[in-house]
Structure 1
Amino acid sequence: MEMDRLNENTIRVILSTEDLQERGVTVLDLLGNKKQIESFFYSILDEVDKDHVFTNNEPVTFQIMPNKAGLELLISKSDDSEDTDSLPLNGLQGSVVNNNDDTNEAKMGTEEYDSDTAPYLNDPDTPTKTVIVEFKDFEDYVQLADLLHLESGISNLWEYDNKYYLQLILFTDEMHEMTYSDVLALLSEYSFKTKVTAAVLSEYGKEIMSKTALELTRYYFDKK
């Protein structure tokens, strides 16, 4: 683990895949468990904040940028007057703040989405198309999520055999802004076809995000 201080209110931490393995977590584990996100980030803060610059009663913002080697973590005081967006960092960024408002908002959004899609899932006459694609790496998936805004459908993110899979259930009659062909064209730019079926993923895979995977990915890894 590497650490450097960008300014008096901001610390950058670089965690390799080995660092994450030593702590028993992966990037996808952090996405799938909100309590684990907060616990993990604050444990890292305790390790690197030797001078106790970040006190427990101060709100803290964490920005994460996954990469093939692990992840980069930017820790900032939330009341810092400096705009963290202006920091010289590239990549995919997201944040978790030291309060429950944002995570509750994401949870409420998922619950509302469940109520909206339930009538379609429960109606056997609803025309649907299911697509499963495989990704070369997690970064490709995040880039796709930034561009693919489903108008009507469900997205599930799976991990199976150390690979990432996106399962889309599209309500084709309700798709107006993007056609089914449009979705396939976009998928082909960031993923590739797979012989892995929904049954295999359900039995042997690990579901990382359910029903609103694309939306949740944009929430946690908003591309700046």
Structure 2
Amino acid sequence: MEMEHINENTIRVLIGNEDLADRGITFLDLLGNHREIESFFYSILEEVDVEDEFKSSEAVTFQVLPKKDGLELFISKNMSQEEFNKAADALELESGDFDQLMQQQILSSTKSYGGKDDVERVRVFALDSFENLIELANYHFLDDAWCDLYQFNGQYYLLVFFDPEYFGDFAVTDIISEVLEYTHSTTVSPEVLDEYGKMLMRQDAIETTRNYFK
């Protein structure tokens, strides 16, 4: 992790993927759990703000730019909303874009999988009806997977990302076989769903369905 003072009000912190791993944090944690995000950012602030210049201020803001090899975090103190918006624009990161950018990075980082010797880490499954998703939610083999539910051309699609940190190749193969008992394969790609589909549930589609449609 690298840190530098941009000015008296802003600290720039470069957090590599190895730094995230050392802290037991994954992109999925930051993407799906806003409490986890806040806790993580303040833990970084504790490390870099050795003289308590920022923690003692009335307002601290965080701006994040996902990078291929990690995150770029800007920590600022006592910024007005106008100053915050200008800084966010300068970083090409508007409020609310963090989840989308992180998801895009996850999808792009998995494109190397799926060759002859690797299982696919991102899979799209077609559902004949919503009842199929309810049936699938009765089981727990997708609990640690990232699951988005989309609707596209009048049909439901489940996009699943198998994080290699939690799923080995053999486990993914077995789980895909289980999922295909309630879904079927499709040629619709994640990029098509992201561009043209309507997202109905983000990340926790299985758990959300289980909680509301038991």
The TM-score normalised by the length of structure 2 is 0.46
Query: Highest relative contact order (Cα 8 Å, sep 6+), 1 or 2?
Result: 1
| Higher Cα Rg, which structure | 2
